[in-house]
Amino acid sequence: MHDIRAIRENPAAFDAALARRGLDAMSPSILALDAERRAKIQAAEAAQSEQKKAAKDVGAAKAAGNDAEFERLRALVGEKKTETAQMQTDAKELDQKLTDLLMGIPNLPFEDTPIGKDEDDNVETHRWGTPVTLDFAAKEHYELDGVAHGMDFEMGAKLSGTRFVVLSGAVARIHRALAQFMLDTHVDQNGLTEMWTPVLVREDMMLGTGQLPKFGEDSYQTTNGWWLVPTAEVSLTNTVNGETIDESSLPRRMVAHTQCFRSEAGSAGRDTSGMLRQHQFEKVEMVSITKPDESRAELDRMTACAQGILESLNLPYRTVALCTGDMGFGAQRTHDIEVWLPGQNTYREISSVSVCGDFQARRMNARFKPTGGGKPEFVHTLNGSGLAVGRCLIAVLENGQQADGSVALPEALHGYLGGKTTLTASGTLA
């Protein structure tokens, strides 16, 4: 959420930043509503002051035996009490209107975030590895002989409907090994603290990280009001919701492996084949809570953590800086990491790492207490996939595919698979 004081102080800068996202100026409507709200608050305070003064004068009139003045003042007290209550109600409604308006406005991009309308305007910043050259026609992951035995979309549809899958045998084990490898790498090499968090959260947690109110249709809600997390970003970031923590505890760097759930309401007809876009999937998610002056550098550090997983698995990738038109609602700058998929002959997103500044912290009221004293300040938050497990499975299978239908598995996974190095064409590990 945005700081109304900052908008008051420099509305032109606020509108200029929105323009970089392709949005019209909003400061005039925001400031008009804010002025109306503040005027109503001041009027309520003035009426309350008059009510208190009249209440004092009532006692004096009674003591003086002035019955006429006593009755007049008593009536005035009642009148001011009613007036004050109504004005306070009006002010509260206007305050909620302003909050709702600010909650629906996306974050302001950094100056170094590329300006553009859509993914065609994203800017490549880094590339690693050389896409594999095959002497046979590359297949997509679900077409591989060795995969067909352990990736059952028909069973997934029978159990749950479209965009669900049942993994079994060797494929399920490789999927699990990937998640374990990611967690171990982030904990042992990257210094993140492993967490285990709920996948059902309260509505105010979804509000805190910006999934609500604008994007509710993209997530699932239970009949008793809980929400299924679209990513562990929600639960990890909200660990500081409503807290004022010590500066000495920052940065906080966390990682969690969870199930994730997305309705994909706005993605009908896209990537429906295979495991690329599922309603239920797994992710290893990274979240950092930092001081304001450290968040930009933390974005680069987290990006490197995600890239390192792909390099360890010997999977070619490229990193792009998302343009303002393609960037998420809560981000100031986002780095997407795209892994090479031979079956599609293209790079596809496998991680998205974003810095949100104090945007989420304001929604959560999450602050830190400076070590040297002074007023508490809002923390900065960052989140990123490290990585999407299912998409990483796709990349491992497609990049390791052999002419006979088997898959050569990355060396980094061998220890997690009991020393096995290959997914055979018959669907076993060897």
> Model confidence over 161-172: pLDDT tens digits?
999 999 999 999
**Best-predicted range by mean pLDDT (155-159, 260-264, 269-273):** 155-159
- Partners of residue 246 on adjacent β-strands: 369
**Which two tokens mark 261?**
């759930």
The pLDDT of residue 270: 58
Higher-scoring residue by pLDDT: 307, 40:
307
**Which two tokens mark 58?**
């009532």
Cα 103 to Cα 181, 227, 330, 354, 383, distances in angstroms: 38, 19, 10, 19, 19
Matching residue, tokens 């900052």: 6
The pLDDT of residue 141: 97
Task: State the amino acid at position 376 in one-letter form.
Answer: P
**Which two tokens mark 401?**
């595919």
Rg of the chain in Å (alpha carbons): 28
The pLDDT of residue 180: 98
Whether 269 shows a pLDDT value over 60: the answer reads no
Query: Helix, strand or coil for residue 215?
Result: coil
* DSSP symbol at 260: E
- What confidence category does residue 56 fall into, taking pLDDT thresholds of 50, 70 and 90? confident
Q: Which CATH architecture has domain 4-103?
A: Orthogonal Bundle (1.10)
Residue list, annotated binding site for L-serine: 231-233, 262, 285, 383, 385
Higher-scoring residue by pLDDT: 112, 75:
112
The pLDDT of residue 264: 75
375-430 pLDDT per residue, tens: 999 999 999 999 999 999 999 999 999 999 999 999 999 999 999 999 999 999 99
Residue list, annotated binding site for ATP: 262-264, 349-352
In 233-345, beta strands by DSSP E: 244-246, 252-261, 280-290, 317-321, 333-341
**Which two tokens mark 41?**
């608050």
d(Cα 339, Cα 390) in Å, to the nearest integer?
Answer: 12
CATH topology match: 4-103 vs 119-423: no
The pLDDT of residue 72: 76
Whether 205 shows a pLDDT value over 90: the answer reads yes
Matching residue, tokens 């001081």: 291
d(Cα 19, Cα 13) in Å, to the nearest integer?
Answer: 10
The pLDDT of residue 84: 83
Percent of the chain with pLDDT over 90: 83
Query: Helix, strand or coil for residue 338?
Result: strand
Instruction: Look at the chain and count its residues.
Output: 430
Phi, psi of 285 (to 5 degrees): -110, 135
The pLDDT of residue 48: 80
Whether 97 shows a pLDDT value over 70: the answer reads yes
Query: Helix, strand or coil for residue 164?
Result: coil
Query: Helix, strand or coil for residue 107?
Result: coil
Cα 197 to Cα 83, 211, 238, distances in angstroms: 48, 18, 11
Report the sign of the C-alpha dihedral through residues 292, 294, 297, 299, in that order: negative
Residues 241/209, Cβ–Cβ less than 8 Å? no
Mean pLDDT rounded to a whole number for the chain: 94
Cα 362 to Cα 22, 143, 239, 287, 381, distances in angstroms: 24, 47, 14, 17, 11
Which of 81-90, 160-169, 209-218, 317-326 is the least confident region? 81-90
Segments in 104-137 forming alpha helices (H): none
d(Cα 302, Cα 354) in Å, to the nearest integer?
Answer: 9
d(Cα 150, Cα 140) in Å, to the nearest integer?
Answer: 15
d(Cα 176, Cα 23) in Å, to the nearest integer?
Answer: 43
- What confidence category does residue 272 fall into, taking pLDDT thresholds of 50, 70 and 90? low
Query: Helix, strand or coil for residue 290?
Result: strand
Fold of 119-423: BirA Bifunctional Protein; domain 2 (3.30.930)
The pLDDT of residue 224: 95
Pairing of strands 380-388, 317-321: unpaired
Domain range summary for the chain, segments of one domain joined by +: 4-103, 119-423
Residue list, annotated binding site: 231-233, 262-264, 285, 349-352, 383, 385
